[in-house]
Structure 1
Amino acid sequence: MKLLVINWQDLANPHSGGAEVHLHEIFGRLARRGHGVTLLCSGFPGASPADEADGMRIHRTGGRHTFTLAAAPFYRRHLAAERFDAVVEDLNKIPLFTPYWVERPLALLVHHLFGTTAFREASAPFAAATWMLERPIPLVYRGLPAEAVSESTRDDLVARGLRRQDIRVIHNGVDVDFFRPDPSISRDAEPTFLSVGRLKKYKRIDHAIEAVARLRARNRFVRLVIAGKGDDEPRLRETVARLGVGDRVTFAGFVTEEGKRDLMRRAWATVQPSPKEGWGITNIEAAACGTPTIASDSPGLRESVVHNTTGLLYPHGDVAALADALERLAMDEVEVARLGAGAHQFAQGFTWDRAADLTEAHLAEVAASR
């Protein structure tokens, strides 16, 4: 097949995240299987307008805030004549409304929609713009074949007006050969919990910091390691200082994949306080390492964490319940081991090869619809 993927960013972009990992893991595999894959995405300072990565041709146009305006003109000038077998809009951040300017067959790929959670992250004008741009999704995309990375995302799309029968759920994967337990690496001697990912306000990492402070008040000692970079870091550091838990909360900054894996292997559990995620890849990465996760009982996360089997779920925003969950594991290494074993077994069902197989089959159906 000859495929075109349109996404806001590629993995080389400094602002890339889980959606870009998914893009390269899936479509890089399809490229290595012999499919022709072209990616149209935004540029960034220092980026080449034309590139290649993971077997994919990459075209960059516009920038972080102008790609939505630059994508359609670039497509018409440089790509429309190529007659792709299928085009995929990887809806990431805001819709590009490709049905109005891309030749079909066209498919939609959705990780998650922001909805009102945009107001927890961005300034009021940007949040309002994101919310308003999501409103026409059912009108623009209804009837198109779609992929969602979780049942929660499919349910969200259906609630907004898309047809359930048009949406195929294909879960994300992880590299279970890379993320795996290492008998030579043991958990930290002290109860240590890990938050890993971009430091964004909407992810509510401050709830984990507040939970640590509550446990300090109970004379329960736990440590929290925060790995990652992002624009919420100054606020999080201020929260640590205000609550007086600087001796119990460590900022590890950016970590490599090997560094992340090492932290996951040593942690007693990872922590995910976010109100909404497409799936929660880091939860499965930790699970593959034999480490459970404590997460909000929120869309996406409730699918990548099985309560009392691979980790613990608590009501989102309930800091007291989060503190209780941390205390429960901090006081019971046997429970940590039990949940870790369940998590490792659970993770084996989610591989990138499986996700690529299902995506390949789905796009073959889309291409055949021409």
Structure 2
Amino acid sequence: MPGGGRAPDLPLLHSGQAGPHRAEPLVRRLGDPVHGRPAGTPGGRRRPGPRAQLRRLDDPGAVVPRPAQDPGHPAGLEAAHASGPGALPGAPGPEVARLVRPSAPGALYHAHHRGHRPQAGHGGGRRRRRFALKLLAVNWRDIGDPLGGGAELHLHHILKGAAAAGWEVDLVCSSYPGAAAEETIDGVHIRRHGHWAVANFVLPPLVRRMLRSRRYDLLVEDINKIPFYTPLYRGSTPLVAIVPHLFGRTVYRETNPLTATYVYGAESLIPRLYRDVDFEVISPSTRDDLVARGLDPARIRTIYCGMDHERFTLADPPARATEPLVVTWSRLRRYKSLDVALHAFARIHRDMPAARMLVMGRGPDEGRLRRLCTRLGLDDWVEFRGFQPWDELVRTLHQCRVFLNPSPKEGWGLTVIEANQCGLPVVASDRPGLKDSVRDGETGLLVPYGDPAAMADAALGLLRDEDRWLAMSDAARRWAGSFSWQRCVEESLTLFDQVATGKKRL
């Protein structure tokens, strides 16, 4: 991604799953997903506990007009997010169908070993025939990992779509307690190896061996903060790097200087080692970050995350709370700057004494935030909810009136879109990722980062003006409705096909 990265985007809000705040070395934890919650339990996952199918909602309705934001996405969001009429939920869209191989099952076509590809015909506007690819992906975690989040959800949707289109898909990632060494989920064959804390050391040799023995058409690396440096050992295999977002100097807000310097240094090698690689990013902000680091903008494609509409839509939603109810929802980590939201709520409560605040999510910063709440005299007005089952989470969001997101940086801000789907306007920092997911003045308001007074004033303006709040609530729902996992998969597979076949430079 958003989308815990992605999203955005995007805390562990599922019952029966481990919290993310156990005392562990940081290292990989710095790459925890955008919004820090498990990505769900798709069909085929062999673990005890409730299952949640990955779904989408086609033809979500009117789209809030928005001009094109990114040269790599010239059609703008309206065209990119449009879903075809009559499409069945869960079925591959027209673009995915065009990527299914026409040959018999098992007859794989290795695109990068051929000089040309068969054509469907000549003239008459007939499309060139496309063949399924043999794809290898590498990521820190997979969709079944209890500590997986937005980045894992985003990648799984893409890989699941590739498998549905007839592609052969393998994923290499770290293991976790109780996980099988090999497992197939939604057509994606997963090979787990080693502990997440050393995944960037133990996974590359496995990836190298698989590339040499199986001759893949494409390698996909999900760079979730710390890279695997696949350009050093990919050989001649075409490569796409997916980047939700990078930490940059933000990492120094999260951890000690030694660990932060390690992560910062790992990221700093990306421009040199990946200079000839094609990238997929989830927001214009991430694209701008990579360009500023020296990467070629012509090789960076912005493909927006999707949205699980059915999960956040209620046929009979509860009424909004009678008192002003403010919520912040995130993994509780220091760099998320949730202390800014608490200081902002102290100002809101001073002007509106009936106002209450919910802090949803868990994380290692919870103790510090609780102590701050006590110092501000807000213990009776702020409730730390921890994680919640999905049905409770969604009902809670429908009862709130304003969502505060004070983060200094996100890949996209998937929790923003999820809150929007519940009709919840957002007041957020005017920072990378959030300035993409929040439409300032329409679906929410952007304020300077680290300014609790500005955040409080913006929230108070919405809480006091019912007509303005209703207009933003309606616009927020329409904006969230414009995002589709089907569209994300279609654009991603088209990109993968182009890179694997050498059809064109982005």
User: TM-score w.r.t. structure 2 length?
Assistant: 0.71
How far did residue 181 of structure 1 move?
A: 5.5
Give the aligned residue type for 2:158. I
Aligned residue number for residue 130 of structure 1: 263
Specify the SS of the correspondent of 1:171.
coil
Name stretches of at least 5 consecutive residues in structure 2 with no aligned partner: 1-132
**3-state SS of 1:89 partner:** strand
Contact 1:220–1:327, Cα closer than 8 Å, also in 2: no
Displacement of 1:125 in angstroms is 1.3
In the alignment, does 2:202 pair up with 1:70? yes
Deviation at 1:79, TM superposition (A): 5.0
Q: Answer yes or no: is the 8 Å Cα contact 2:175–2:181 preserved in 1.
A: yes
Match of 1:99 in 2: 231
- Using a 3 Å threshold, how does the CA distance of structure 1 residues 221 and 26 change in structure 2: closer, same or farther? farther
Partner of residue 354, structure 2: 221
User: Compared with structure 1, are the counterparts of its residues 94 and 160 closer, same or farther at alpha carbon in structure 2 (3 Å cutoff)?
Assistant: same
Match of 2:293 among 153, 160, 167: 160
Q: CA deviation at 1:8?
A: 1.1
> What's the counterpart of residue 211 of structure 1?
344
Question: Match for residue 287 of structure 1?
Answer: 420
1:341 deviates by 0.5
SS across alignment from 1:47: coil
Structure 1 CA distance for aligned equivalents of residues 342 and 492 of structure 2:
38
CA contact 2:328–2:358 (8 Å) conserved in 1? yes
TM-superposed deviation, 1:219: 4.7
Task: Tell me the alpha carbon deviations over residues 3-53 of structure 1, each in whole angstroms, 9 at most, x when there is no partner.
Answer: 111111112223222111211222222222322221111122332222222
1:112 equivalent in alignment to 2:245: yes
Q: Tell me if the contact between 2:429 and 2:435 (Cα under 8 Å) persists in the aligned partners.
A: yes
Structure 1 residues 345-356: aligned runs within 5 Å: 345-356=478-489
User: In 1, are the aligned partners of 2:136 and 2:169 still within 8 Å (CA)?
Assistant: yes
SS of residue in 1 equivalent to 2:311: coil
Contact 1:215–1:221 at 8 Å: present in 2 too? no
Higher relative contact order (CA 8 A, sep 6+): 2
Whole-angstrom distance in 2 between the partners of 1:298 and 1:41: 31
Count of residues in Structure 1 that have an aligned counterpart in Structure 2? 370
Match of 1:251 in 2: 384
Fraction of identical pairs, as percent: 41
Moved more, 21-30 or 144-153: 21-30
Q: Is the 8 A contact 2:211 2:234 kept in 1?
A: no
| Counterpart residue identity of residue 341, structure 2 | A
Q: Is the 8 A contact 1:176 1:348 kept in 2?
A: yes
> Which position in structure 2 is the counterpart of 1:315?
448
Contact 1:199–1:232 (CA<8 Å) still a contact in 2?
yes
Q: 1:40 aligns with which of 158, 172, 177?
A: 172
Q: Measure the CA separation in 2 of the matches of 1:360 and 1:217.
A: 52
Partner of 2:362, secondary structure, is coil
- Contact 1:194 1:263 (C-alpha < 8 Å) held by counterparts: no
Q: Does the CA contact (< 8 Å) of 2:349 and 2:356 recur in 1?
A: no
Q: In 1, are the aligned partners of 2:225 and 2:267 still within 8 Å (CA)?
A: no
For 1:136 and 1:148, how far apart are their aligned partners in 2?
18
Deviates most, 155-164 or 226-235: 226-235
Q: 1:31 to 1:332 in 2, by over 3 A?
A: same
Question: What displacement does 1:250 show?
Answer: 1.0
Which residue number corresponds to residue 238 of structure 1? 371
Question: Which of 5-14 and 71-80 deviates more?
Answer: 71-80
Decide which of 261, 280, 305 is 2:394's aligned counterpart: 261
Q: How far apart are 1:362 and its partner, in Å?
A: 0.5
1:269–1:336 Cα contact (<8 Å) kept: no
How far does the alpha carbon of each residue in 1:261-304 deviate from its partner, in whole angstroms, 9 at most, with x for none? 22221211222110000001111112122221111110000110
**In structure 2, the residue corresponding to 1:88 is in which secondary structure?**
strand
Alignment-derived partner of residue 30 in structure 1? 162
TM-score normalised by L of structure 1 = 0.95
1:329 to 462, 466, 469: 462
Deviations 1:228-265 (A, max 9, x none): 12111111111111211111111111123323222221
8 Å Cα contact 1:182-1:265 kept in structure 2: no
CA contact (8 A) 1:222 1:330 kept: no
Structure 1 or 2, whichever has the larger Rg, is 2
Which residue is 1:202 aligned to?
335
Q: Is the 1:193–1:222 Cα contact (8 Å) retained in structure 2?
A: yes
Q: After superposition, what is the alpha-carbon deviation per residue over 1:108-162, rounded to whole angstroms, capped at 9, x for unaligned?
A: 1101110000011122211110111111111100121111100000000000010
* SS across alignment from 1:23: helix
> Over residues 176-203 of structure 1, what are the superposed CA-to-partner deviations in whole Å (9 max), with x where a residue is unaligned?
2332354542211111122222111111
2:302 counterpart of 1:169? yes
Matched, 1:338 2:471: yes
Question: Structure 1, unaligned stretches of length 5 or more?
Answer: none
Q: Is the 8 A contact 1:25 1:352 kept in 2?
A: yes
CA contact (8 A) 2:317 2:395 kept: no
Residue 333 (structure 1) shift = 2.7
Bigger mean CA offset, 163-172 vs 234-243: 234-243
More helix by share: 1
Q: Could you tell me how far apart the structure 2 residues matched to 1:121 and 1:141 are?
A: 26
Distance 1:36 1:256 in 2: 34
SS at 1:178 equivalent: helix
Secondary structure of 1:66 counterpart: helix
Equivalent residue number for residue 9 of structure 1: 141
